[in-house]
Amino acid sequence: MKSFKTIVAVVVALLILWGLWGSAKPFWDRYWLKKDMEAAAIYGTKHSLDQTVSFLNEKMKKEGQPFTAEDFEIEKDENNTVSIRIQYEDEIRAYGTTLKSLDFDVKVVAEEVKDIL
């Protein structure tokens, strides 16, 4: 009987963890998407806009993100300041059902750093 209670407790704990992961996953994905966008923006301060778009596309493929460069708004000004923005929807899902839809607006800006010497 004691082992049955242990098995039930483990199963319940795993179900709770699975539900929590479903709640945290959209925010986890947004964090890593922003990191990839920051890398592309920094790359863009030293490269052309076309090269930055290609870099971002490759980064999205490599990291398994469901976006392409066309999904992003990418701007570069004469001071080599690069801004990248994306707006997208995600869902909090648990146990096969959508609990809440989320709208994300992620924007990063990187400025060129000039050599001091």
Query: Tell me: the pLDDT tens digits for 49-107?
Result: 999 999 999 999 999 999 998 999 999 999 999 999 999 999 988 777 888 899 999 99
Q: DSSP secondary structure string, 43-81?
A: HHTTS-HHHHHHHHHHHHHHHT-S--GGGSEEEE-TT--
- Signed CA dihedral, 89, 90, 92, 96: sign only: positive
DSSP lists the bridge partners of residue 74 as 84
23 and 94 Cβ atoms separated by less than 8 Å: yes
Per-residue confidence at 42, pLDDT binned at 50, 70, 90?
A: very high
**Range with the lowest mean pLDDT among 16-20, 38-42, 101-105?**
16-20
* Residue 29: half-sphere exposure toward Cβ, Cα within 13 Å: 19
Residue 51: count of CB within 10 angstroms of its CB: 12
